[in-house]
Amino acid sequence: VGGAAMTDGGLADSIPVIKAYEMGARDITVILSQPRGFRKKIRPLPTFMKRFFKHHPALFDAVARRSTVYNDAINFIDNPPTDCTMTVLAPPADFPVGRFTQDKKLLEQGYEMGRAAALATIIA
């Protein structure tokens, strides 16, 4: 953007609930793409990878911390402060859609499941 390298904010903070809380949000709705209970595996980046990011050290740090930041957000969602209401929509463990799903019927089924869950949450 304007000659500066940028990346999607989801790389630095996939679920920015802690930041939202720090900014004053107290009624937070979260839509997860993974089932409740999912945690990212903490895997250290090989040190040789640092040279690929030598011109973008902050990007390397974001990639290296991504799993930890994600898991911290999930822990916050599961245990919000007492002054915070957390509404969470998450797919079931047997959700038929994954990152690379292309089957139109499965995508439509997943869409309808998500829509029904959202409506149930709104009505509740």
Give the single-character DSSP code of 56.
Answer: -
pLDDT in tens, the chain (124 residues): 898 877 888 888 999 999 999 999 999 999 999 999 999 999 888 888 888 888 888 888 888 899 999 999 999 999 999 999 999 999 999 999 998 999 999 999 999 999 999 999 988 7
CA distance 39 to 70: 8
Please state the pTM of the whole predicted model.
Answer: 0.86
Three-class secondary structure of residue 43 per DSSP: coil
Query: Backbone dihedral region of 24: left (phi > 0), alpha (psi from -120 to 50 degrees) or beta?
Result: left
Tokens of 51: 């040279």
Written as one letter, the residue type at 29 is T
Phi/psi at 27 (5° precision): -125, 100
Element of type H or E holding 89: strand 85-89
Q: Among positive and negative, which fits the CA dihedral 121, 69, 43, 47?
A: positive
Question: How far, CA to CA in Å, does 5 sit from each of 13, 25, 56, 59?
Answer: 18, 30, 9, 10
What's the angle, vertex CA 38, arms to CA 32 and CA 40, rounded to 5? 100
